[in-house]
Amino acid sequence: MDRATVVIIGGGVVGCAIARALSARWSDVFVLDALPKIGMGASTRNSGVIHSGIYYPPGSLKAKHCIRGNQLTYEFCAAHGVPHRNCGKLVVAASAEEVNELAALMQNGCANGVEELRIIDRDEIRAHEPHVAAAHALLVPSTGILSSEDLVKAYARVATDRGANIVTNAKVDRMEPLADGIRVHSAAGDIETRCVVNSAGLFADEVAALLGSKMAAHRIYPVRGEYCELIRARQDWVRGLVYPVPHQLRTTLGVHLVKTVWGNVLLGPTAHYIDDKNDYERNREPVEDFAEAAKALLPGLTVGDLVPSYTGIRAKLAPPPGTAVTAASAKAMTDFIVERDPELPRVVQLIGIESPGLTSAPAIAEHVEQLAAEILA
């Protein structure tokens, strides 16, 4: 039977970033991914945004890891040839009432350590985005875009160059705690390891359940996000990133505009709670409804300017709106879970890693490296 120092379950952007970090310190690091290729889930089905850290509660893991991850992601992309662009972002107020929300958002971002934030007027907005109609916007210079697929591949490439083993078609179906480790049974074979890192994304709660962990009670609710794309003749309507003011009742940051590193313009994502974690296409939202939601940002938009694009599924810890939860539970549902399992001391659990997971990946990897060092000491 193969033996490993660390087995990472999940070969998404976070799993591969963890493999990169851990393989610099320990030999025999394995990544097991259930799919035929790494990064086929949420890691490459997203907006490809390098987030700044303005949205998240001060002191939260999302705030801490996003701020650190922003810096590390830019550095990694530059060092390893990952296509990216520091284009900045506008968060626009659609009404006078939302101007106060912009000020509160700026204050929150400043509390998290985001630099150079400022509120700009209509003239400056038009200088940045001539087709966006708004009286005020928050300018966020540290936000950017990247190729998420190239990022995942680059993390994996560095990890394998350091000796890590990345195994695909390796769905984990059973795990057994041992006196000095964990025996992991997968479709690719069995392996014994001194440390398991659960980085299974949408399926992290199910992986926790395989271990009999009480942390499986942190249920993941799949939320599908759909994208549309501007037709080629309208791609010059957007130069960078344009977001609406986030509202408390939204499941996400809202439908936004993204000029990708390839020059096309995405609109999205929407947010729909679904029952099947593999349901990417059934009952998609009509383009007409999508266009109506996006007009708040791009008033000149018509249905004919849009074509359907891809979809993604987020790993939300928060249940559908209207579900009764306690105040303590509601607070816990808004943050990442990155911790050693209290009952299984050789297991690190990552649950609810949604946005800004792409940006936060290298910072989460640093966090996991610290926890793994405790286990392997």
Rounded to 10 degrees, the C-alpha dihedral 158/368/216/284 comes to: -50
Q: Residue 275: its pLDDT value, please?
A: 94
Tell whether 234 and 194 lie within a shared domain. no
Tell whether 156 and 247 lie within a shared domain. no
* Number of domains forming the structure of the chain: 2
DSSP class per residue in 306-364:
EEEEEEEEEEE-SPPTT----HHHHHHTTS-EEEE-SS-TTEEEEE---TTHHHHHHHH
Tell whether 246 and 354 lie within a shared domain. no
Residue 70: inside a domain: no
Tell whether 165 and 40 lie within a shared domain. yes
CATH number at residue 131: 3.30.9.10
pLDDT in tens, the chain (377 residues): 789 999 999 999 999 999 999 999 999 999 999 999 999 999 999 999 999 999 999 999 999 999 999 999 999 999 999 999 999 999 999 888 899 999 999 999 999 999 999 999 999 999 999 999 899 999 999 999 999 999 999 999 999 999 999 999 999 999 999 989 999 999 999 999 999 999 999 999 999 999 999 999 999 999 999 999 999 999 999 999 999 998 654 446 678 999 999 999 999 899 999 999 999 999 999 999 888 888 888 989 999 999 999 999 999 999 998 787 666 566 667 899 999 999 999 999 999 999 999 999 999 999 999 999 999 99
Q: Residue 250: its pLDDT value, please?
A: 47
> What's the pTM value of the predicted model, to 2 decimals?
0.96
CATH number at residue 175: 3.50.50.60
Tell whether 137 and 225 lie within a shared domain. yes
Separation of CA 170 from chain center: 23
Tell whether 312 and 355 lie within a shared domain. no
Q: Residue 289: its pLDDT value, please?
A: 85
Residue 18: domain span:
2-45+149-219+323-376
User: Which is it for the CA torsion 293, 290, 232, 224, positive or negative?
Assistant: positive
Q: Residue 292: its pLDDT value, please?
A: 85
